[in-house]
Structure 1
């Protein structure tokens, strides 16, 4: 097996930042909400900044986060209601163009993900058809790594269900639930701020 793991240098990072924030009420994009002194959606970009990916691609919708400043190529998903599948396909197209061995798919609304965990995912890759996802011990979820033999499938996924099925069938690497928190609602963001003692939890007064 020896050479099972895959190097970050051979991977393209695909950051999905095109969600429509449907559950965040009317605040525009949740990714622009402040969290620990920077926009929520930039945390994962900063956490993975030192990983030597061959390329970083941010698939964006309406968020104002400046991914370009963090070394990302920006790809616009002009039709976010086609679901995550469309965003994944756009990112995988870029990876294919670069002849990457794998893609690392991460979500911009998961601000606690660490580089250490991504390296652990890469270490679990065992071939071109690998699917390695994260797990909190209960259910698999992103971040996930897909080997290049999966690119064709990924590009053709419809909506969100196909990606979920693929992730469920793959290998799962367990990490702490706290690392895999994703922020979908204002309440979740507020809870997370309190959990980590973010200054925003106390300085932002609710306008009633």
Structure 2
């Protein structure tokens, strides 16, 4: 499916409890905040819509500004403790009335090394609104992932921190390296990521 028919959802509202006191998404990585890597890569592509789910403005003012400058519609998740599912539900509620959107590409702001080519491979593997396409390192399905519009009602019923994992396990899986799919949960993850060169 062409990206022009897809909404990109960037999830950037997590509490980062495993990272410590510092704001994980603002932690410096290769010359810019961690979240800037994913948000800029996604914004460089021709999506129908750019949607970012974020914490309230007072908790993340810099991220808000960066996202707005790149053309994202911001949706505030004022209950990030509800887990990733709460963010997905809010984004899908926003997209439901937008009939031109045929599916959503769910991306994580703490995955800094996903290249545009991988996002594009996922989108191109999606045939229609029934498609589900996940990333995998060869072991388990993960974001970034495409979920077709037919599954939006199922996404609205999500609860907790499992996200759409059950749905992704039944879809197509596009394999890439674990280095590309790594996400930053701890300061150690960030240190490891400083030396990674995205492919």
| TM-score of the superposed pair, with normalisation by structure 2 | 0.91
Q: Tell me, in whole angstroms, the C-alpha distance in 1 between the residues paired with 2:191 and 2:7.
A: 32
Give the corresponding residue for 1:83.
83
Tell me which residue corresponds to 1:98: 98
Aligned structure 1 segments of 4 or more residues deviating by more than 2 angstroms = none
**What is the distance in 1 between the residues matched to 2:106 and 2:135?**
11
Question: Structure 2: which 5+ runs fail to align?
Answer: none
Q: CA 1:73–1:154 in 2, change beyond 3 Å: closer, same or farther? A: same
C-alpha contact 2:131 2:171 (8 A) present in aligned 1: yes
Residue 178 of structure 1, CA deviation:
1.3
- For the 8 Å contact 2:103–2:146, the answer to whether it is kept is yes
**Alignment partners' CA distance in 2, 1:174 and 1:102:** 20
Aligned to 2:113: 112
Is there any run of 5+ residues in structure 1 with no aligned partner, and where? 1-5, 197-208
Q: Is this contact kept in 1: 2:12–2:108, CA < 8 A?
A: yes
Cα RMSD of the aligned pairs, angstroms, is 1.3
Distance in 2 between residues matched to 1:42 and 1:89, nearest whole Å = 23
Larger mean Cα displacement after TM superposition, 76-85 or 94-103: 94-103
Shift of 1:156: 1.2
CA distance in 2, matches of 1:133, 1:174: 9
Residue 185 and residue 162 in structure 1: after superposition, are their counterparts in 2 closer, same or farther (change >3 A)?
closer
- Cα offset, 1:163, TM superposition: 1.2
The 1-side partners of 2:196 and 2:10 are apart by: 25
* 1:54-80 Cα distance to aligned partner (Å, 9 max, x none): 110110013331211111111100001
Contact map agreement 2:84 2:163 (CA 8 A) in 1: no
- What's 1:203 paired with? none
Q: Which protein shows a greater Rg?
A: 1
Counterpart position of 1:154: 155
Distance in 2 of aligned mates of 1:158 and 1:186: 27
Structure 1 length-normalised TM: 0.87
Aligned partner of 2:40 in structure 1 is 46
1:14 alignment counterpart: 9
> Is this contact kept in 2: 1:135–1:141, CA < 8 A?
yes
| Secondary structure class of the residue paired with 2:39 | helix
Quote the offset at 1:81 in angstroms.
Answer: 1.0
CA contact (8 A) 2:93 2:156 kept: yes
> Given that residues 95 and 102 in structure 1 are in contact (C-alpha distance below 8 angstroms), is that contact kept between their aligned partners in structure 2?
no
Residues 20-42 of structure 1 show CA distances to partners (whole Å, capped at 9, x for unaligned) of: 00001111x20001111111011
Q: Distance in 1 between matches of 2:67 and 2:119?
A: 19
Give runs of aligned pairs for residues 49-198 of structure 1, distance below 5 A.
49-61=43-55, 62-63=59-60, 64-65=62-63, 66-99=66-99, 100-161=101-162, 163-196=164-197
- TM-aligned CA deviation for residue 15 of structure 1: 0.3
How many residues align structurally? 190
